[in-house]
Amino acid sequence: MKNQIQETKKLLLFEEIQGDKKIIYRQHKEDEKKDFVKIYEKKGNEYIFEFDGATIKKIKFEGFDEIPAFFSGFGYGFSDNTLNNFFKYQFEDSRINSLIINDTSASKRKGKALVLNVQELEDLLSSTNQEQRACNDTKRILIKNFLVGAFPELAFDHKETNNNKKLILRNLNQKLIDQLTADDIEKIGEFYVDAAKKYKRADLVKRMSFGLQKNAQILTLQEIILKYETLLKENPPESTWQKFFDEYITLFDTRYAHKINYKNIATGITKYPDLVLVDIYGYIDFYELKKNNTPLIQYDKSHKTWYWTKDVSMVIAQATDYLQKSKENASSYTTAIKEQTETESEEGIDVNIINPRVIIVAGSTKELNTKIKRNHFKNLRESLKDIEFVLYDELLERLKNLLDKIKIK
């Protein structure tokens, strides 16, 4: 027989005694059928709740005189919606059909049940609640900061976003690293070094700085290699390759300290190299970029030998012209570059045009698919004076080797 024991605004609660066991039901006042929904069974200091999860159907409390505050006494599961929804909808391990919560043993698996220590569970809830509060605080601060920027007359002060130490430390993991860019790493590095200075230990700052520099190099090279591999597959126009090299070459080739916008330099010529770079000693290199599927060599049947294709011959001729003009006009070029690169705060760049080089990047080793082709290409390449010929996939291997060396160090 069911006896009413409690009434709320929407519910009626009933109790049924079966021997030494007590069963609690609820009934919704708006339910026309007046169905009884079983909430839990109680025997001694144990509670067994019904739970409508995808695989978990019961939640048992062992050794409790009262139902813990984090659990609903009306049969709706955990009071924390995130925890409740996880075990109800997202826990899909069919080998588990119940939870056991107690305060005597550590969390572990027991047959088809997960045993959860109540203190560990409360610590988890404390962490998730702290995370939620921190997120809410951050949202409020971001709203205020937006209003301060848009409407300075409003009575809000700009404030830094949440600086909860535990929250920050919890998020320092591999998943975060995978999302960081080189710029992000640099910002973190600046904070890292500033934090180390707090202890006034030069050895610690030096070690931290070196580690951060290494990690930033690794991350940057990984990004560059990924983009490079994507471009190799797409075989884009020369302008795309020029943009890529313009953006990244000083990052993956540390010989170079400056890029010169040659078209802004009053040198009196109308044809410009794709890139003009200055190395750490002030010497100039010119770059000419062709497509990565540019044909490299072709066969002369009458002489039974190989020679440069028309496209490559043209770019070699252009490279030779750059070298000749730069040597003939070395003095005026260096003066023009220094004047045009000067700013209000910095002097112009001093360059040396002494035996400059042209680096041609074109084609790939896929074309050189026989030993004879490779040998003839090697002979042709090595016959060039002051011109270095680099294949696109060779450059990719250089990048990968550089990455491996940095990792080993």
What are φ and ψ of residue 117, in 5° steps? -70, 130
The residue out of 222, 248, 281 marking a domain boundary is: 222
Task: Give which of 273, 274, 290 is closest to 362, Cα–Cα.
Answer: 290
Q: Are 196 and 264 contained in the same domain?
A: no
Q: Is the pTM of this model over 0.85?
A: no
Cβ contact 65:29 at 8 Å? no
Residue 371 lies in a domain: yes
Longest dimension (CA), the chain: 110
> Would you list the DSSP string of 314-357?
HHHHHHHHHHHHHHHTHHHHHHHHHHHT--SSSPPPP-EEEEEE
To which residue do tokens 């190989």 refer? 306
Q: What is the pLDDT along the chain (409 residues), one digit of tens a residue?
A: 899 999 999 999 999 999 999 999 999 999 888 899 999 999 999 999 999 999 999 999 999 999 999 999 999 999 999 999 999 999 888 899 999 999 988 899 999 999 999 999 999 998 888 878 878 888 888 888 888 888 888 777 777 765 566 667 767 777 777 777 767 777 777 777 677 666 666 666 666 666 666 776 777 888 889 999 999 999 999 999 999 998 888 878 888 888 887 665 655 455 678 889 999 899 999 999 999 999 999 999 988 899 999 999 999 999 998 888 888 888 888 888 888 888 888 888 889 888 889 999 999 999 999 999 999 999 999 999 999 999 999 999 999 988 888 877 6
The residue out of 157, 188, 222 marking a domain boundary is: 222
Residue 144 lies in a domain: no
Inter-CA distances, 212 with 200, 209, 215, 257, Å: 18, 5, 5, 21
Cβ contact 59:42 at 8 Å? no
Q: Are 351 and 377 contained in the same domain?
A: yes
pLDDT value at position 238? 92
The residue out of 125, 158, 181 marking a domain boundary is: 125
CA distance 89 to 132: 20
Task: Give which of 278, 273, 203, 212 is closest to 238, Cα–Cα.
Answer: 273
Q: Are 180 and 239 contained in the same domain?
A: no
Owning domain of residue 198: 172-222
- Say which DSSP state 365 is in: G
Cβ contact 324:275 at 8 Å? no
Cβ contact 333:326 at 8 Å? yes
CA distance 374 to 377: 5
pLDDT value at position 28? 94
pLDDT value at position 201? 61
Residue 216 lies in a domain: yes
Q: Are 215 and 315 contained in the same domain?
A: no
Q: Are 284 and 373 contained in the same domain?
A: yes
C-alpha atoms less than 13 angstroms from C-alpha of 298 in its C-beta half-sphere: 10
> Would you list the DSSP string of 46-60?
EEEEE---SS--EEE
CA distance 254 to 279: 8
Q: Are 258 and 339 contained in the same domain?
A: yes
> Would you list the DSSP string of 241-300?
HHHHHHHHHHHH-TTEEEEE-GGGS--S-S---SEEEEETTSEEEEEEE--TT---EEEE
Residue 164 lies in a domain: no
Q: Are 194 and 339 contained in the same domain?
A: no
Residue 370 lies in a domain: yes
- Where residue 26 falls (left for φ over 0; alpha for ψ -120 to 50; beta otherwise) is beta
Q: What tokens appear for 240 in the block? A: 């795309």
pLDDT value at position 27? 95
Cα angle, residue 250 at apex, residues 255 and 246 outer, rounded to 5°? 135
Q: Are 383 and 321 contained in the same domain?
A: yes
98-102: strand order across its sheet: 2-7, 11-18, 21-28, 37-43, 46-50, 58-62, 98-102, 113-117, 108-110
CA distance 299 to 307: 7
Residue 10 lies in a domain: yes
What are φ and ψ of residue 351, in 5° steps? -120, 155
Residue 289 lies in a domain: yes
Residue 186 lies in a domain: yes
Q: Are 347 and 252 contained in the same domain?
A: yes
CA distance 26 to 15: 9
- Count the domains in the chain: 3
Q: Are 293 and 218 contained in the same domain?
A: no
CB contact burial 101-110 (16+ within 10 A = b; e otherwise): bbeeeebeee
Q: Are 292 and 385 contained in the same domain?
A: yes
Q: Are 25 and 90 contained in the same domain?
A: yes
